[in-house]
Amino acid sequence: MELIFEKSVPGRRAVRLPMSDVPRAGDLPDSLSRTEAPGLPEVSELEVVRHFTELSRRNFSVDTTFYPLGSCTMKYNPKALEEAVRPFARSHPLLPFLPSGERFVQGSLGLIHELTRLLAEITGMDEFSCQPLAGAHGEMAGMMMIAAYHRSRDDRRRYVVVPDSSHGTNPATAAMVGYEVVTVPTAPYGDMDLDAFRKAMNPEVAAVMMTCPNTLGLFNPHVAEICDIAHRNGALVYCDGANLNAVLGKVRPGDIGFDAIHVNLHKTFATPHGGGGPGSGPVGVKKHLAAFLPSPRVERRADGSYVIGEGGEESIGRLANFFGNFGILARAYAYITMLGREGLIEVSERAVLNANYVMARLKEWYDLPFAGPCMHECVFSASRQMKQEIHAIDIAKFLIDRGFHPPTVYFPLVVREALMIEPTETESRATLDSFIDAMIEAAKLAGTDPDSLRRAPRTTPVTRLDETRAAREIRVCHQGG
């Protein structure tokens, strides 16, 4: 398919701008002027529409296909959420920074404040900031607060401990905040090896970062003990809240002993993932970290009005242009409002039901490296299929031909040939069954006709793409028309 640039014809134009009602200004001096107009496409409006409509048809998405991408919680995004955010489109984020300006944005400020209270209750934390713009950004806020906490106590610490099953963002975040990373292996039972963890702990460890439930879809029964060991060493414990969808109303990380958490609103609270973002990663903390929260913050005065609080000297400061991805915050607020207490509990119960159902029906066909009831996702290994030289990626591509987005493959890194399936609560048994049937068909084909898997996908606009070539002959910007 042609690029929009390749459809360009000089002199063509889509959108007409309003006529000017003011005199033309004099030209900028040459030293400041652009000599040539930027090489943007010149196309008609219909060409723009056809182009992007055609592109959209080359995507799998939740609205078109089952999308059990593990760790990403690709649940259905209720359409009402899109409507819910529209009335806020014009609110300017600098208004509350003007003298007495906050009185003109009480709705937006109130929404943010109410959302922080809801998230605090859901996670068992004391305070939240909605500024972080994605999960990894929330982690960074959390680790910065932990660093500031130790600094405030004049306690120099060097290390952050993470399990080897962690999301890559955890160690990457720790490094961005200036820590050295210590990785603890996963024990055969699927959780961080407790003995290795004990050995890794010492008074130089600033924090432990853990996903709860973990990335293998398991709830670590030792999680409270881990928090306790960390605390006894003066370290704080950070919860990667990416998997909160499994435990709404069941477990609150704040009750267990975690000191800080981020919540991926786009996952648990159903906002569209946008082909890679925007997400939103509000960060929550217990009281002892509250002074370090990012600023500015939205505060509620005794009279019920909302104002901007700049935070004290201990605040880690500003982390984003304004108040976070407000449009995502508004959608998540709308979702929580609609589902309510019972609805959210049901979310987790059915997410866990669906994952266990998939696991039960597939476990005779695929190796399950960590057996036992799973939470909201299950992780299989294609190690059995490896004997026919069939890899997880071949199964993934076959699923595309059957009309399913593949599970997450090759993550977590601790599972060889990992296939990580997260069905989410919004899928019906019938959809799960047809997906399971396709997975079983793939397992059978691995024995009978492995080449058919290696040839997949055949139904997509392109067949398998040469990623090595892309990385060797780097072409990231189109040259020419």
Partner 1 sequence: MDTYFTRDHEWIRVEGTIGTVGITAYAVEQLGDITFIELPVLGKAVRQTGMLCSVESVKAASDIYAPLTGKVIEVNHALDSAPEIVNQSPEGEGWIARMEVEDLSGAKNLMCRSDYDEYVRGLA
Partner 2 sequence: MSRSGYSPHTPAEIREMLDVIGAGNIADLFATIPPGLGAGSFDLPEGMSEFEMLDRMEALAARDRRDMVSFIGGGCYEHLIPAVVDHLAGRAEFSTAYTPYQPECSQGTLQALYEYQTAICRLTGMEASNASLYDGGTALAEAALMALRITGRKKLVVDGSVNPFWRRIVRTYLASLDAELVEIAPAHGVLDRDAAFACLDDRVAGVMVQNPNFFGSIEDFSDLASAARRHGALLVSAVYPVSLGLVKSPGSMGADIALGDGQCLGNPAAFGGPSFGFMAVRKEHIRNLPGRIVGETVDREGKRGFVLTLQAREQHIRRQRATSNICSNQSLCALRGLVFLAALGKDGVAELAGLNRDKAEYAKGVLAAVRGVEVMNNAPTFNEFTLRLPMEADAAVERLLGKGMAAGMPLARHYAGMENCIVVTVTEKRSRRQIDRLAAALEEILWS
Kindly state the tokens that stand for 457: 């996908």
Residue 188 touches which of partner 1, partner 2, none (Cβ within 5-8 Å per kind): none
Among 22, 40, 46, 471, binds partner 1 (CB under 8 A): 471
CA angle (293 as vertex; 288, 296 as ends), nearest 5: 145
The reply to whether 219 sits near partner 2 by the rule CB under 8 A is: yes
φ, ψ of residue 278 in degrees (nearest 5): -70, 140
Which range binds partner 1 by CB under 8 A, 217-225, 334-342, 418-426, 466-474? 466-474
Among 202, 383, 388, 426, binds partner 2 (CB under 8 A): 426
Kindly state the tokens that stand for 431: 């959809």
Write down the H helix ranges in 314-402: 326-362, 392-401
φ, ψ of residue 14 in degrees (nearest 5): -95, -75
Site string for partner 2, 42-81 (x = CB under 8 A): xx-x--xx-xxx-xxxxxxxxxx--x-x--x-xxxxx-x-
Q: How far is CA 296 from CA 44, 117, 318, in A?
A: 44, 16, 7
The reply to whether 232 sits near partner 1 by the rule CB under 8 A is: no
The reply to whether 410 sits near partner 1 by the rule CB under 8 A is: yes
Residue 415 touches which of partner 1, partner 2, none (Cβ within 5-8 Å per kind): none
The reply to whether 158 sits near partner 2 by the rule CB under 8 A is: no
Site residues for partner 2, 437-476, by CB under 8 A, read 457, 460-467, 469-471, 474-476
Which range binds partner 1 by CB under 8 A, 77-85, 159-167, 396-404, 467-475? 467-475
Kindly state the tokens that stand for 213: 């439930």
* Bridge pairing between strands 205-211 and 260-262: unpaired
The reply to whether 400 sits near partner 2 by the rule CB under 8 A is: yes
The reply to whether 371 sits near partner 2 by the rule CB under 8 A is: no
d(CA 467, CA 345): 42
CB nearer to partner 1: give 391 or 402.
391
d(CA 265, CA 123): 13
Q: How far is CA 54 from CA 2, 51, 63, 202, 306, in A?
A: 11, 5, 16, 57, 45
The reply to whether 328 sits near partner 2 by the rule CB under 8 A is: yes
Residue 203 touches which of partner 1, partner 2, none (Cβ within 5-8 Å per kind): none
Residue 371 touches which of partner 1, partner 2, none (Cβ within 5-8 Å per kind): none
The reply to whether 476 sits near partner 1 by the rule CB under 8 A is: no
The reply to whether 327 sits near partner 2 by the rule CB under 8 A is: yes
Site string for partner 2, 236-275 (x = CB under 8 A): -----------xxxxxx--xx---------x---x-xxxx
Which range binds partner 2 by CB under 8 A, 141-149, 192-200, 380-388, 445-453? 141-149
**Omega of the bond prior to 373 within 30 degrees of 0, cis?**
no
Residue 302 touches which of partner 1, partner 2, none (Cβ within 5-8 Å per kind): none
Least Å distance between CB 161 and partner 2? 12
What residues contact 137, with CB distance under 8 A and at least 6 apart?
281, 319, 320
Q: How far is CA 50 from CA 2, 4, 8, 17, in A?
A: 12, 10, 13, 21
φ, ψ of residue 265 in degrees (nearest 5): -60, -35
E strands, 233-289, where? 236-240, 260-262, 283-285
Residue 255 touches which of partner 2, partner 1, none (Cβ within 5-8 Å per kind): partner 2
DSSP lists the bridge partners of residue 418 as: 381
Residue 259 touches which of partner 1, partner 2, none (Cβ within 5-8 Å per kind): none
Residue 207 touches which of partner 1, partner 2, none (Cβ within 5-8 Å per kind): none
